[in-house]
Structure 1
Amino acid sequence: MPDLTDDDGLTVGQVSTRLGVTVRALHHWDEVGLARPSLRTAAGYRLYTVADVERLYRVVVYRELGLGLDRIRAILDDADTDVPDALRAQRTQVAERINRLQQLSAGLDRMIDAHERGLLLTAEQQASIFGSHWNPDWPARARQRYGDTTQWRQYAERSASRSPEEWQAIADAVAGLERVLGDAMDSGVIPGSPEANQLVERHREMFSSSYFPLTRQMQVCLGRMYESDPAFAAHYDGIRAGLATWLRRSIDASARAHSIDPDAATWQ
C-alpha cells in the first residue's frame, strides 16, 4: 500500500489518485457504508485517515479479485467469515471465467481464420471430403473475389463452427442431389416442368442451408457460372454430359415461373 503520512487526512481527490479508483466509486462506497471517511473539514469536506485508506486498499484488492461489495463487507467486518474459504470460492469462479474466456478466444480465432480462409480444413481434408477434382486454392480465390460481400461473411461464420464431419455430411448431400439432377436429365425431365422446378428449389434450399442464403436471382447468376466457368462446367458435365446447360436452363425456367427475367437477374 502507498506510504501515507498525512496527519490531517486525505481528500477524496487525493485518495482517488493514490488508489487509482474514481471519485464516484469512493462516494458510492461511502453512501453504502462500505468505506467511509472518518474526518470532515470545517467546511464539511470528507477526509480519509490512514486507517480509512488501508481499508479502501483492501476493498480495491478484493474488487479486483471479482468479489461483490456485500462479500467484501463480510470479509472486512464479519469476524465469523472464513476469509481463505471465501477466497478459494472466488478462485474457483475466476478459473471458470478464465476457461470461458479461453473458449471465447479460441472461437474468435476460428472466426478470424474462417473470414480469411473460408474453409478451416487442410488440403488433405479438402481432397478427402470434396474429391480429387477439388482444388484447395479455390477457397482463397473465392475470398479474393467475394471477400467484401455479405455472402462471404455469412459463409465464413458458418464455416467457423463446422467440423470435418459436418463438411463431409454436406458434401455427401450435395453429391446426392447432383446425382438426382443427372438422373432427371437422363430420364427426360424438361426444364420448366413441375419436376424440374421442384429440383431447382431443392438445389436452392440445399445451397442456402450449406453456404449462405440464396435468392432466386442469385441462383440464376450461379446457373450462368455453372455453364460458363470451365471448372464448374467440367464438374457438372463430368456427372452427366450436358448437365451444366440443363441445370442452367432449369434454373432460368424456374425463375421465369416466379416472374424473374433471367437475362436481367443480378446478384441480389
Structure 2
Amino acid sequence: MSNDSTLYTVGDVARRFAVTVRTLRHWEALGLLSPAQRSWSNYRLYSAGDCARVQRIIIYRATGMKLIDIKSLLDSGDTAVEHLKRQRERLVAHRRETAAGLVAAHRHALSEFFPVTPAKHYLISRAYITDERFRSHYDAQQEGFAQWLADAIAHVARASGVDTDNPVWE
C-alpha cells in the first residue's frame, strides 16, 4: 500500500490489516472510518490515508482503548508525530499494566506456600538474578526473563511503598 493515488477495496484492506470486512463496516457505521470513494458498483474504496487511519485504530485498540475514544483522538486534528507519541504512551502504559498483573499473579502463586508481602516478594526476586539456579530456570522460559521479572517486581514493590534500598523481610 505504497502509491498515494491507489485505491483499495474493503477486502484488500481487511487482508492487509488482518481484520474482517465486518469490522471495517462496523468502524464505518460508528464514523471511525470512511472510505475515500465508492466504485461505480458502490464498493468501498480506501486511500492510503484511510489505510493509515486503520493502522492507527488497530494500534490504539491493542492498548485497550475504546472505539469512541479512538474516534475522538483521530478526529482531534493532531499531527502524525503527535499520534505516534500518544500511541507510544498508551503502549508503555499497557505494558506496565500487563507487567503489574503478571507480578501480582506471581506473588499470589508464592502466597500459596506462605504469606508474601511486596517486601518479601522483592527480596525473593533478588535471587532470580543472583542465584544461577533461579536465573537458569527463568531464562529457560525466555532469555532475559529472570532480569525482567526481578525488575518488574522491584517496580511494583516501590509503587507499594517498599524501600528497595533497605528492604525488610516483613
- The separation in 2 between residues aligned to 1:164 and 1:22, in whole angstroms, is 47
| Shift of residue 28, structure 1, vs aligned partner | 0.9
Distance 1:58 1:164 in 2: 44
Contact 1:15–1:53 (CA under 8 A) maintained in structure 2: yes
Pair 1:102-2:103 in alignment: yes
Within 2, Cα distance between the matches of 1:71 and 1:162? 43
TM-score normalised by the chain length of structure 1: 0.35
Return the TM-score normalized by structure 2.
0.53
Partner of 1:10: 8
| 1:137-152 matched pairs, under 5 angstroms | none
Deviation of residue 59 (structure 1)?
1.4
Aligned length: 113
The 3 A distance-change label for structure 1 pair 96 and 28 is same
Distance 1:18 1:86 in 2: 20
Structure 1 counterpart SS, 2:8 = coil
- Quote the sequence identity (%): 32
Structure 2 unaligned runs (5+)? 117-170
> 1:102 and 1:13, CA in 2 relative to 1: closer, same or farther beyond 3 A?
farther
CA distance in 1, matches of 2:38, 2:94: 39
How far apart are the structure 1 equivalents of 2:78 and 2:54? 21
Query: How far does residue 13 in structure 1 lie from its aligned partner after superposition?
Result: 0.8
Cα separation, partners in 2 of 1:106 and 1:20, compared to 1, 3 Å: farther
1:75 to 61, 73, 76: 73
Letter of the 1:47 counterpart: L
Is the contact made by 2:59 and 2:87 (CA closer than 8 Å) also made in structure 1? Answer: no
- How many Å separate the matches in 1 of 2:86 and 2:47? 30
Aligned with 1:31 (options 29, 32, 35): 29
For residues 115 and 52 of structure 2, the distance between their equivalents in structure 1, rounded to whole angstroms, comes to 57
Compute the displacement of 1:73 (Å).
Answer: 1.7
Query: Which stretches in structure 1 are left out of the alignment for 5+ residues?
Result: 111-119, 121-159, 166-268
Q: Which residue of 2 aligns with 1:170?
A: none
Deviation of 1:66 (Å): 2.5
Q: Deviations over 1:242-267 (max 9, x none)?
A: xxxxxxxxxxxxxxxxxxxxxxxxxx
Aligned to 1:58: 56
Deviations 1:151-177 (A, max 9, x none): xxxxxxxxx724179xxxxxxxxxxxx
Distance change (3 Å), C-alpha of 1:164 and 1:39: closer
Residue type at the aligned position of 1:21: V
Distance 2:93 2:115 in 1: 34
1:41 alignment counterpart? 39
Structure 2 SS opposite 1:78: coil
* Structure 2 residue aligned with 1:116: none
Change (3 A) 1:33 1:95: same
Give the letter for the 2:46 counterpart.
Answer: Y
> Is contact 2:4–2:47 with CA below 8 Å preserved after alignment?
no
With a CA cutoff of 8 Å and minimum separation of 6, indicate the structure with the bigger relative contact order: 2
* Residues 62, 72 of structure 1: 8 Å contact kept: yes
Q: Deviations over 1:50-83 (max 9, x none)?
A: 2211211121222223322122222211147975
Partner of 1:47: helix, strand, or coil? strand
